[in-house]
Amino acid sequence: MICFMHVVRYPKYLGFFGMLSMAIFRIPLFLNRSIHFYKLLGCGKNGSFDLQPDWRQWAVLTISNNVQESRQHTGKFIEWWWRLFNCELLQIKLQPIEGHGTWDDKICFGHLPLKTDYEGPIAVLTRATIHTKKIRRFWQHVDAVSAEMKQAPGFITSLGIGEMPLFRAATLSIWETKAHMRSFAYAQPFHKEVIVKTRKENWYSEDMFVRFIPLQVSGTLQGIDPFKGKL
């Protein structure tokens, strides 16, 4: 199974066309038989869960059982649209290897083991639908976790993405090694505390946690290749 995260940044004053694309792209993606699951996503400003959207930056997640090329995941119309508006594009090709949970009640990445022996560079997708009564509790903890993650050894970059940022949010974070990711997840005090609270206080009505091997990266965001020299 292959997954692509296509992150697109529109030129200044053209962010409206990114918002418009979130409606228009549903048609070609729905008709694309090369993929079996897709999500059209907005992006947060600080690289993690964020209530403040980045109106110039948008993302498309696509999943296929056998298609390896990004152009087959997006199709000609979407590629034409991005060229028309002179968008900056970062594409991350990912292979899911571990995980649990569902997205819209679908096991969209297939039935994955909870653990494998893989220890190399790793990407982690964490997403959740937050119970309405727990939204305030969730957002009270976001900034501290985000700051802790950005200072963690082995951290490369992260993307705050979501369908509805208030209560349907996700983060894709990428690490130099699986050991670095584990150290942050289970040793950093504030993040460890939040993991306990999410379970104890039942914050989520649905959640998903998936780890990937980053197979290929191309492009930039804001003129920077965040993976240069790291993957």
Nearest by Cα to 212 from 102, 49, 96, 47: 96
Domain positions in the chain are 2-219
pLDDT tens digits for 149-163?
888 899 999 998 988
Q: What is the pLDDT of residues 96-151, one digit of tens each?
A: 999 999 999 999 999 999 999 999 999 999 999 999 888 888 877 777 788 888 88
Domain 2-219, CATH among 3.40.605.10, 3.40.50.300, 3.30.70.100, 3.30.465.10: 3.30.70.100
Instruction: Tell me: pLDDT of 85 over 90.
Output: yes
Mean pLDDT of 65-90: 95
Q: For residue 48, name the pLDDT band (cuts at 50, 70, 90).
A: low
Amino acid residing at 55: W
Closest CA to 210 of 69, 111, 62, 92: 111
Quote the pLDDT of residue 46.
Answer: 67
User: Any bridge partners for residue 4, and if so which?
Assistant: 62, 93
